Amino acid sequence: MRFLFVVFLLFFFSNASGQRYEFAVTPDCQKAYRQILSLDFDSGKKSLLKELENRPFNLYTVFVADYIDVLELLLNGDKKTFENRKDKLNQRLKLIEKGPKDSPYYLFTKSALYFHWALVQMRFNEKWATIQYLRKSNKYIFENQKKHKNFAPNLMLSGLMQILADQVPDNFKWLTSLLGFSGDYDSGMQQINHYIASQKSHDDYLDEALIWQTYVNYFNSNDKNQIINTLSKPEFSDPTNLLFAFVKADILCNLGNAQTSIDILNTARNSPQFEHFPLLSYELGKAYCLQVNPKAFIYLNHFFKHYQGNWYRKSAWYYSGLLYLALGKKEKAKNAFEAVLSSEHSGLESDQLATEQCEKYKHRSPILVKATLFIDGGFIQSARAELDAIRPDSLDAEQRLEFYFRNGRCFEEAQAHQKAIEAYQKTYEFGQNNTQYYAARAALQLGRLYRINGETPLAKQWFQKCLQLKNHDRKSSIDQRAKIELQKIED
């Protein structure tokens, strides 16, 4: 299937000189797009081949086919596969050049192809290529907006460009400015939201836009309920869509709803494509870890055995180590944490955090680890039982600092805000000179709680205290959240 598909797209198009090329968004192309976005690549290829039998010069098939390589590389790819496939971008751009220049899809598809491969380059830590591709993507979508002002899909790509440019760290903004690549978060979100509101079906790029909207909100919003409500909408309800299952499980698990993630992924296991994407097994294994359930090892081991890339490998070993520690299996925990340190670096923040934290595992109290897993998974009553069984005076200084912080988190998740405030204040006082991240996170959470309570001056004060803390773990990501919170107050 793959050989036939590649030959048809590349050889046939390349040798069909003198023919009239077109960009036709036909029912078969739309069907292929939905199938590929559902991670059903074989069905998507069949739909594209059917389209080419009927319209052999439809260049829109080239654009839709690109999603297969991009999603495969983002979800499954290793360095060797990346090197073998990275020339696909130029091959497809050459084919797109054959299309009618007056079509709104001519510049749109060029912009989207560069955007797709910017994500791939970012995935493989190719920073300079990432910036160059984003710049070209931005250039083409800007041109398309001028030529075709009423072409709705422009809004999705242009909005993403605005958001990405705005989210570049301050120390790199000079580079994006030099390349003519600047952005505005609010404007970008307005464009994406407007595009989604204008779509009445999944025939265009609604599925893709919903995924981007959800992740952008997740990374930049603290409104947990809003994100959960978005993921609960009918648009996300298709049980056959593995990409939706991955997105929902990933975000919900990170928001402290591991049980729902487990339910979603166990339903997704009925799909014949599930085994092809080991990252789904990683997500299910992680969710079971947060339940302190030994079933986690089944899925994490499947991930280790079948995943060829380096994303989340450190994180998977780290969760394995935490679960072993919570279950009282210290020697296995030690082996898992050593595997974290020996695994290849991926550049992912979660993998970097795994490296930083596993080096400190010897100081972790098994009962505190167990409570932490329960809190992170949203099993608050189980966490409370573990924390209530701890005598703080039996802990060393590092463990006591963590105990105060975990208490705060547990109270906050249980909506006991006053008790959470007291625990976070104790965390800050006890740990403000410690290199662990607990004091900074406590200050951040205090700011959020005071903001929720309508006590804006106190909220601002705690966000500023968070930013003033130096030389602690996770400073970049925590500072970014504090800055977003301060911006909300000022707006």
Over its length of 491 residues, how does the chain's per-residue pLDDT go in tens digits? 454 455 455 545 555 554 689 999 999 999 999 999 999 999 999 999 999 999 999 999 999 999 999 999 999 978 899 999 999 999 999 999 999 999 999 999 999 999 999 999 988 888 889 889 998 999 999 999 999 999 999 999 999 988 887 776 565 565 666 666 677 888 999 999 999 988 876 567 988 999 999 998 888 776 778 888 888 888 788 888 999 999 999 999 999 999 999 999 999 999 999 999 999 999 999 999 999 999 999 999 999 999 988 889 999 999 999 999 999 999 999 999 999 999 888 777 788 888 888 877 767 889 999 999 999 999 999 999 999 999 999 999 999 999 999 999 999 999 999 999 999 999 999 999 999 999 999 999 999 999 999 999 999 999 999 999 998 988 988 998 899 889 888 87
Is 139 domain-assigned? yes
Distance from C-alpha of 145 to C-alpha of 182, rounded to nearest angstrom: 16
Is 348 domain-assigned? yes
End residue of a domain, out of 223, 240, 259: 223
| DSSP secondary structure code for residue 89 in this structure | H
> Do residues 237 and 253 share a domain?
yes
pTM of the model: 0.89
Is 384 domain-assigned? no
- Check: CB of residue 344 under 8 Å from CB of residue 304: no
Q: Which domain holds residue 266?
A: 224-377
Query: Domain count of the chain?
Result: 3
End residue of a domain, out of 169, 193, 223: 223
> Do residues 82 and 168 share a domain?
yes
Q: For residues 6-33, b (16+ Cβ closer than 10 Å) or e, as one string?
A: eebbbeebeeeeeeebebbbbebbbbbb
* CATH classification of the domain holding 486: 1.25.40.10
End residue of a domain, out of 333, 353, 377: 377
> Do residues 206 and 343 share a domain?
no
Is 335 domain-assigned? yes
> Do residues 475 and 395 share a domain?
yes
> Do residues 195 and 62 share a domain?
yes
Is 385 domain-assigned? no
> Do residues 361 and 402 share a domain?
no
Distance from C-alpha of 266 to C-alpha of 246, rounded to nearest angstrom: 11
- pLDDT for res 477: 84
> Do residues 460 and 373 share a domain?
no
- Check: CB of residue 161 under 8 Å from CB of residue 152: no
> Do residues 163 and 271 share a domain?
no
Q: Where are the beta strands (DSSP E) in 295-376?
A: none
Is 383 domain-assigned? no
Q: How far apart are the first and last CA of the chain?
A: 54
Which among 451, 423, 428, 450 is positioned nearest to 438, based on CA atoms?
Answer: 428
- Check: CB of residue 158 under 8 Å from CB of residue 143: no
Give 3-state DSSP helix, strand, coil % of the chain, rounded to 5: 75, 0, 25
- pLDDT for res 418: 96
> Do residues 322 and 409 share a domain?
no
* CATH classification of the domain holding 120: 1.25.40
> Do residues 156 and 301 share a domain?
no
> Do residues 205 and 171 share a domain?
yes
Q: Which two tokens stand for residue 241?
A: 């869509």
Is 276 domain-assigned? yes
> Do residues 371 and 411 share a domain?
no
Cβ neighbours for 178, distance < 8 A, ≥ 6 positions apart: none
Q: Which amino acid is at 204?
A: D
Is 458 domain-assigned? yes
Cβ neighbours for 118, distance < 8 A, ≥ 6 positions apart: 129, 130, 133, 134, 137
